[in-house]
Chains A and B, each alone.
Chain A
Amino acid sequence: MIVTNTETVPGYRVQRVLGLVQGNTVRAKHLGRDIAAGFKNLVGGELKGYTELLTESRREAMQRMLAQAQQLGANAVVNVRFSTSSITAGASELYAYGTAVVVSEGA
């Protein structure tokens, strides 16, 4: 699957636009991670647990978006955008959306 956050893909021609595809997820880390994050506040620095949380959420949302594109018979998703919001402590919502298209080689 070709995935970009631009509207076009160099070297390819968009043959058909299939429509909006999207995926979202709300994930949380277990309490231990939240407590560890609290301790990290003593010195500051990267909160690896929360970084992982975002990575997992994004991959899951993307997975769902890609499955939708596949169902439509697309071979590329262009103009991908992400959006996030906080639901409750320690949880994050991640929403990925893009346009499913069929592209073929050639400018």
Chain B
Amino acid sequence: MAEYPDEKPQRPDGHQPANGPDIDGPNPFAVPMSYQVVPTDDLRSRDQSVTAEPWLQPKAFMPLAGDTPGAIEASSASGKNAILTVADLAEHSVWDEPTTSSSLVSDQDPNAITWYGYYLFKASQTSAIRTWWVTCGIVLLAGPLAILGALFNGYSGNGLVMVVLMGPTVEEILKLAIPLWVIEKRPWLFSQGGQVLVCAFAGGMAFAVIENWVYLNIYIPNPSERLVVWRWTVCVLLHVSCSIIAGTGLIRVRQQMHATRSRPQLIHGAGWIVAAIVLHGSYNLAAVLLNDLF
């Protein structure tokens, strides 16, 4: 049985949280909140005994109200065994719950762990140079993704639905697949909206180049000069502008994240992405119809 000290919980680093539990006088029943990380095994072990339960652990790592993400990360940095990492806390933050009424709890501490607070913390930890490196990486990956897109188009036939609806949808999403994932899961890896546009531009370019190469060398062995010029101007322009339109949608997602101080929701950019797909699809439709006419 753990011996519980009589005084209020003290932490080794002497940090006093701004918004700690407000209880009058000492509370001998409160479990002391030691600033120590218990290895994961201690709580998720096969140990079925009652003393392994989290609420009976005197030393279980628990954040105090008012702890900054930085303080928590520093304290749990000692090992991958931390029970609750700051990312986990941010993911399940009570302050992002709709049920947490501000009238029930005291004024929210500005340092309280929320998803957006965690974003700001990670953003402050990520240097501008690093975000540009990430942008470079995404630009480089646009090529392989474009090849994947071309393979998909090559194997899925030439039906009208395929050309007008499925093809554009898959292409537009593949062009922005990596920026999409980054915005949703690691938004701090972009420091400004312009980087998203750079990625979108690269995605569009890569798709246009690969597609042109496939068309002008494989599908149409001896293209006329007019077709070559057409493909390298209008088609490239179409791919890039569709990609930029969809990219604007992603920037919109970012803006909404900042405006509502909540996690990014792709629905805010859905309109732009749909617009890009429609534009791409209508060009394809026009191309098919004109081909049939002439």
The answer to whether A and B assemble together is yes
A residues engaging B (CB < 8 A)? Answer: 1-3, 12, 15, 17-23, 51-52, 55-56, 59-60, 62-64, 66-75, 77, 102, 104-105
A to B contact number (C-beta, < 8 Å): 99
Which B residues are CB-close (under 8 A) to A51?
48
Pair A74/B21 contact, Cβ less than 8 Å: yes
Q: Is the CB of A70 within 8 A of B62?
A: yes
Q: Contact mask B1-26 → A, CB, 8 Å, 1/0?
A: 00000000000000000011111110
Beyond A19-B99, A59-B44, whether A70 also contacts B64 by CB under 8 A is yes
Given contacts A19-B105, A55-B48, A63-B83, contact A73 B54 (CB under 8 A): no
Given A19-B101, A19-B105, A59-B43; A67-B63 close (CB under 8 Å):
yes
Contacts of B30 in A (CB 8 A): 1-2, 75
State the main secondary structure of chain A at its contact with B. Answer: mixed
CA distance A59 to B50 in the complex (A): 11
Contacts of B99 in A (CB 8 A): 19-20
The answer, yes or no, to whether B148 is at the interface (CB within 8 Å) is no
Expressed in whole angstroms, the Cα–Cα distance for A63 and B60 within the complex equals: 9
Note all chain A residues with C-beta closer than 8 A to B112.
71
Q: Say if the beta carbon of B78 comes within 8 Å of chain A.
A: no
Residues of A within 8 A of B93 (CB): 68, 71
Contacts of B83 in A (CB 8 A): 63
> Contacts A67-B84, A71-B94 given: A1-B23 contact, CB under 8 Å?
no
B106 surroundings in chain A (CB, below 8 A): 73
